[in-house]
Structure 1
Amino acid sequence: MDPDRVLEGLDPEQTEAARALRGPVCILAGAGTGKTRAITHRIAHAVSSGVVSEQQVLAVTFTARAAGEMRGRLRGLGAPRVQARTFHAAALRQLSFFWPQVIGGEKPTLIESKLQAVARAANSVGVQPDRTGLRDLASEIEWAKVTQVRPTDYEKTVAKTSRQAPMPPGEIARVFEAYEALCRERNLLDFESMLELTAGMINEYPAIAQRVRDQYRYFVVDEFQDVNPLQKLLLDAWLGDRDDLCVVGDPSQTIYSFAGATPGYLTGFAARYPHATVVRLVRDYRSTPQVVRVANHVIAQARGTTSAGHLTLQAQRPDGPDPMYQEYEDEPAEATGVARKISVLLENGTPAGEIAILVRTNSQSAAYEQALADEGVPFTVRGTKRFFERPEIKQAVHTLRGARHEAAGEAPEPLVHTVRQLLGQLGLTEQAPEGRQARERWESLAALAQLAEDMAAKPAPDGRAVTMADLVDELEVRMATEHAPGFEGVTLASLHSAKGLEWDAVFLVGLTEGMMPIIYAETDEQVEEERRLFYVGVTRAREHLAMSWSLARSPGGRKSRKPSRFLDGLRPASPSTSARRAERRKGGVARCRVCGNALGETAERKLGRCLDCPSSYDEALLERLRDWRRANAQEQKVPAYVVFTDATLQAIAEQEPTSVSQLSAVSGVGAVKLDRYGEAVLALVSGAEPADVMGDPAGDNGEEAADD
């Protein structure tokens, strides 16, 4: 391909990056700025210019999906033989090839999960964690290995770094040492040892180093802010004393420090290579200016090691809707409100697959799964199992079913006491445990206990106290709903699993202190990582961005929660009653007649209330209005919305105007429509039949549509 043609369509900064054909090169790429486009065009430009052959390029990224996308783009650019792989895939390929001549004998068995081996190692030293504790223990061993901490140094390192270990550090160190011994004895190889062995093989055997470095002369590493010390060790082995390296990343999207990643390699790149070319990509092609303003505000408040490298994004898209900020009374109300807002988006043409709800922890998903199911909105859960498919919840439901049968014919114990007692046997303690896996399990069980509390707080339909049988019946219904056949739907995902993805509409929910930032983010560094995680969530949105929080956990609960500090300077302050009145007198911002919050969406302004605020209307009246509108639209041969939109009809049904002046105050009823349809609508409100109240069909259709 013509080298100049490869550069067509790139913006000035992307072009600068693509023309920097020799390393070292550092591309600082903000969210939505086209980093993959820049690096693939840079590789293709180098190949077409004769700087390097396709087979000598190694492009490294962190997920198989990202590597596949990169290979696909390179094929389209005329460079199909470029190797684009993850660190692990590249290491496994090299280790497998050189194993016979370096070590010989039977190749080790690669284990994708440490759980079984860690369980045996723990048992051998007298440590017996439950399955959740076992997962936390395996994660901690992974952290130690990627950060190059040996078993003998683990306790000292934890104390020095103030790391929160999931169990006593001495026990972890003993299990860690036993695990390493077990792997050697049984010829097992985990992913971390695979990277370490590959790096060691290259560094210790000059002949192998020569072959590897002859093969790969041109390196590109994506998401460089997520590199950990072990991956950096392997990268340095590949490079040797060369510097033909291009790294790409964004320090503001560093969200895996807990797993050993460090942005220091990215932020310190220019110091290590003083002659490096540094290019900044700041033109955001993903999000509207309104979303970009939020993102820039959030990251501008950052402090610490990554703050110096943050990029101020420049929006390239046309204006879009303003971000929405919504406060709710409690979590169920928040979930219901979000589901209703999503219904409106779907009605207005946004595909379900282009909408996402992002939560901080997986335990939050249950309320949203239920609210979406209740609203009839299709959804999929990404990055984790659905609530009722999680092992701890399956076990809990099985236990509660058994308790229902055991309690038959006996005087029932208070429901909440019984449920908490039973879930306590499965790990629901008064305080959340240490360890990410253990905490997630605990939070799932706590959500189940909260459901029991919510049900017990109000009597059954027949007036009696809610029993275990009622709770189990409710769980059965919810499980049946969740197990419906899969389909394309709204994405429900954690913020971590959303990285690298994007949607037209994003709902960031549960934005309270203790959840965002999470309660166990205690140090300044941990809080800043939470800020970056929030920033990642914001920058997933292309057009619609909604942020919400609730004051209480459950209906009737104490309203003691505070909005996240990350919303400071973004969310509008709640106006006083006198300010609201003054605003109305001035004809200012439209506000909900129920809660007083500002109304942002067109549909909300037409209704005169927030979409999720309670309303009461005569359903029969609304149906009569719809029948009447349908008949008028058919007679005039125009779409139904040209007569009146759904929101306007619902507002009329809610407000039930009895005079021309009251009807004219309804949003969507302008002078033209008032003159044409006013008499008919008022007759319908008074109870007349649709056939008797057809509106005047005369007039210009374009004028009608504009008036709405």
Structure 2
Amino acid sequence: MTVIEHQAREVGVTSGLDPEQLEAVLAPRGPVCVLAGAGTGKTRTITRRIAHLVDSGQVNPEQVLAVTFTARAAAEMRERLESLGVAGPGNRIAAQTFHAAAMRQLRYFWPMAMGDMRWELLEHKFRMVGRVARELGLDVADRDLLRDLSSEIEWAKSSGIGPGQYPDAAQRSHRDLPTDPRTVSQVFAAYEAAKVAPNGDRLLDFEDMLTFTTTILRSDPSIAEEFRSRYRSFVVDEYQDVTPIQQDLLDAWLGGRDDLTVVGDANQTIYSFTGATPSYLLDFTRRYPDATLVRLQRDYRSTPEVVTLANAAIGRARGRIAGSRLKLVGQRPAGPEPVFAGYDDEISEVVGVVARIRSLIRSGVPASEIAVLYRVNAQSEAYEEALSEAGIDYQVRGAQSFFDRPEIVAGMRRLTSLAGGPPPPMPPVDAVRHGLHSVGLTEAEPAGANARARWQQLLRLMEIVEEIASQAPELDFAGLVSKLDERSRMRHAPVGGGVTLSSMHAAKGLEWDAVFLTGLHEGSMPLGRASKTTDDVEEERRLFYVGITRAREHLHLSWSLSRGEGRGAKRRRSRFIDALVPKAEVDFEPLPERTDPDPDVLAALTAWRKEFAEAEGISPVNVMSVTMIRSIATAVPTSIAELVKVRGFGADRADVIGAQVLDVVDAALPGRAAQQNRR
């Protein structure tokens, strides 16, 4: 490369950067910590830093090892580096996940360190855990138990905890255990022993790859010397998510050197349950007192309105992470204010969200730029159904669509089998509940994360059954199961390019023009079982913050006060929202009070709702809830302005059916003059 070419590329590497990004890119070799808030251009910054180090001759491209946590993030990093001309054929910068890097190194160094001993990768723990659990006399037919045991072993190993240390560590960490900790410890010890063959050959799981690579580098100086002569400069993305054994491997890679750049945001620490800890990010400048520390706080993703809300949400955080809080500064032009919406029940919430989605699509927002986010995957079903009925394509991220999930498939198979036999000697809904008991729908919420997730999905299936039965009480058991099967087959197949349905965890690292954060009530956000300790609540707050910062322009936050129509307001909205809702929107503006609903208006609206639902091919409750009809019949609004004040009705619903509802009210009250301002 000529001097002129070098200068031109160096200008390209540093062009378009803000002052803080430029400081991070041009920082000298040595320890560098980049605290990068959501939307501040962290990938752009670290890839430009790597390019600068290469172009300035400070490091050979083949001596750089960049690690991150997902294959998708590693691929994006490689693409960025290739576009900068410092990666690709003849210029190889390694950008990999921790596990991919460890596997490559282990395959190369194992023969040197272990001689003739061989190893194979154990890609899944489940079968091995099942085998040792059977030998210990556990119920291996309980697949959720085996999954939870596998998860606990993975957490312990990622945290550097052995079988003997597990019981005390699990108690200190308030783990959601499937059984008593000593039983988990016994299974853990038996699992570790079962991986070693009599001749010494080994099966290694993904955690073993990291720990064995670390051990080899630390125990064999010649191997360590060979590795460290190859890799001299290290970059770690999402550093707030490293586990203890990943940090141990990084330390072994470095071997006392300090040519290390880390990038992270403690505010986005949401994977503590897997063993991840932000401690290494928070302690970086203590470990390296001479480190360059750069804060990226200019948010190029979201409008100032979204940024302000995100800052307010995380600003109430407590604990050590709060002390390192980044305060984002929005760089985009002003946009719409975030919308807060409370509903009487979950059905009304779903209908309101879908109505607003329809409105956004009509205004020109592509469906692919809209996301509905929720805390647990079981919450997706209602949105899958409502979007299907509205003719809006969708895709479920991070999970299968509801009726394709294994537990739902198993439940449907069980019910179909029972429906082919003699009628059960109990009411149809009770018969369905009894039938689902054998596939995991117990009376009480079970222990263990996997068992609980399965239970939540089956509980949602039971709620669908109860809804069908309430609309068609004449159905017998076989008819109820047939109607449920018909409902499952009516769904649109999820497609690429539609509205994204995703848990908040699965949405990490993504962004959309419009984001709907749903189910924001106590027990869901924060999750009920995550409210036992301050640390748990704070992790839920960070997850809420991650959800907010996925939105570029439109942000809609909603909650409901009851699970189902007519069940009474037993919930309260999330504590995370209480201080964020504008004062004017804390409560719904009430309409003039009446003692009872007008019986003529009530009857007319009920009849109209049924006719409208049949004409549209949707459920009557998706038009208006019974509670909403009673509220309208009590308030007897005379205009659109008054109608939208009815709790849960809202402007979006008024845009679709408001005029028709007022016409029905007028017709039920002869002699009342039509109001001129209703449209």
CA deviations 1:353-372 (Å, max 9, x no partner) are: 11111110011111111111
For 1:69 and 1:579, locate their aligned partners in 2 and report how far apart those are by CA, in whole Å.
57
Pairwise CA distance, 1:663: 8.0
Map of 1:565 onto structure 2: 575
User: What is the identity, as a one-letter code, of the residue corresponding to 1:538?
Assistant: I
Equivalent residues in 2 for 1:538-549, closer than 5 Å:
538-549=548-559
Query: What is the CA distance between 1:430 and its match in structure 2?
Result: 2.1
Q: Distance in 1 between matches of 2:102 and 2:70?
A: 14
Distance change >3 Å, CA 142–CA 485, structure 1 → 2: closer
* 5+ residue gaps, structure 1: 581-589, 619-650, 668-708
2:560 counterpart residue number: 550
Alignment RMSD: 2.5
- Match for residue 230 of structure 1 among 241, 245, 251: 245
The one-letter amino acid of 1:97's match is: Y
- Between the aligned partners of 2:31 and 2:665, the Cα distance in structure 1 is 66
Query: Which residue of structure 1 aligns with residue 514 of structure 2?
Result: 505
Counterpart secondary structure, 1:493 = strand
The letter for the 2-side match of 1:109 is E
Q: In the alignment, residue 617 of structure 1 is paired with which amino acid?
A: Q
**Residues 307-318 of structure 1 mapped to structure 2, 5 A cutoff:** 307-318=322-333
Q: Any gaps of 5 or more consecutive residues in structure 2?
A: 1-5, 594-639, 668-672
Amino acid at match of 1:197: F
What one-letter code is carried by the residue in structure 2 that aligns with 1:163? R
- Over 3 Å counting, the alpha-carbon distance change for 1:429 and 1:485 in structure 2 is closer
Matched, 1:149 2:165: no
Question: Percent identity at matched positions?
Answer: 50
What residue in structure 1 maps to residue 112 of structure 2? Answer: 101
The match for 2:102 is 91
> How far apart in 1 are the matches of 2:414 and 2:386?
25
Asked if the contact 1:33–1:286 (Cα under 8 Å) also holds between the matched residues in 2, the reply is yes
2:399 corresponding residue in structure 1: 384
Q: Residue 479 of structure 1: which of 470, 478, 488 is its match?
A: 488
Instruction: Rate the CA distance shift 1:281–1:420 in 2: closer, same or farther, 3 A.
Output: same
Q: Is the 8 A contact 1:127 1:171 kept in 2?
A: no
Q: Deviations over 1:314-360 (max 9, x none)?
A: 00111111111111221122122212211111122111111111110
Say if 1:591 and 1:599, in contact at 8 Å, map to a contact too: no
Alignment of 1:648-663 (within 5 A): none
In structure 2, do the counterparts of structure 1 residues 50 and 591 end up closer, same or farther at CA, with 3 Å as the change threshold?
farther
Counterpart pick for 1:127 among 135, 138, 150 = 138
Note the C-alpha offset of 1:470.
3.1
Q: Which has the higher contact order (CA 8 A, sep 6+)?
A: 2
From 157, 177, 180, the equivalent of 1:168 is 180
The one of 465, 468, 473 equivalent to 1:452 is 465
Q: For 1:40 and 1:592, how far apart are their aligned partners in 2?
A: 55
Aligned to 2:68: 61
Structure index of larger Rg: 1
Structure 2 equivalent of residue 181 of structure 1: 193
User: d(CA) in 2 for partners of 1:591 and 1:664?
Assistant: 11
Q: Shift of the alpha carbon at 1:294?
A: 0.9
Q: Which amino acid aligns with 1:512?
A: H
1:627 match: none
Matches within 5 A, 1:72-87: 72-80=79-87, 81-87=92-98
**Whole-angstrom distance in 1 between the partners of 2:30 and 2:23:** 13
Whole-angstrom CA distance in 2 between matches of 1:599 and 1:296: 30
Q: Is the Cα–Cα contact under 8 Å of residues 296 and 313 in structure 1 kept in the other structure?
A: yes
Q: What is the distance in 2 between the residues matched to 1:24 and 1:421?
A: 61
**Out of 432, 452, 455, which is 1:439 matched to?**
452
Aligned partners of 2:232 and 2:259 also within 8 Å:
yes
1:73–1:531 CA distance, 2 compared to 1 (3 A): same
Q: 1:5 deviation in Å?
A: 2.8
Matched residue of 1:164: which SS?
coil
Per the TM alignment, residue 474 of structure 1 is displaced from its structure 2 partner at its CA by 2.6
How many residues align? The count is 612
Report the counterpart of residue 241 of structure 1 in structure 2.
256
CA contact (8 A) 1:387 1:393 kept: yes
Range moving further from structure 2, 204-213 or 419-428: 419-428
Q: Which residue is 1:305 aligned to?
A: 320
Q: Distance in 2 between matches of 1:654 and 1:487?
A: 42
Aligned pairs for 1:316-335 within 5 A:
316-335=331-350
1:516/1:362 Cα in 2 relative to 1: closer, same or farther (>3 Å)?
same
Q: Aligned letter for 2:183? A: E
- Which of 50, 58, 66 aligns to 1:43? It is 50
- 1:599 to 1:19, Cα distance in 2 relative to 1, 3 A: farther
Query: Taking structure 1 as reference, are residues 7 and 579 closer, same or farther at Cα in structure 2, changes over 3 Å only?
Result: farther
1:366 maps to amino acid: E
Q: Name the structure 2 match of 1:196.
A: 211
Partners in 2 of 1:654 and 1:541 — Cα distance?
Answer: 39
Shift of 1:385: 1.4
Q: Distance in 2 between matches of 1:12 and 1:653?
A: 62
- 2:612 maps to what in 1? none
TM, length-normalised to structure 2: 0.86
Q: Deviations over 1:16-41 (max 9, x none)?
A: 10011312110000000000001010
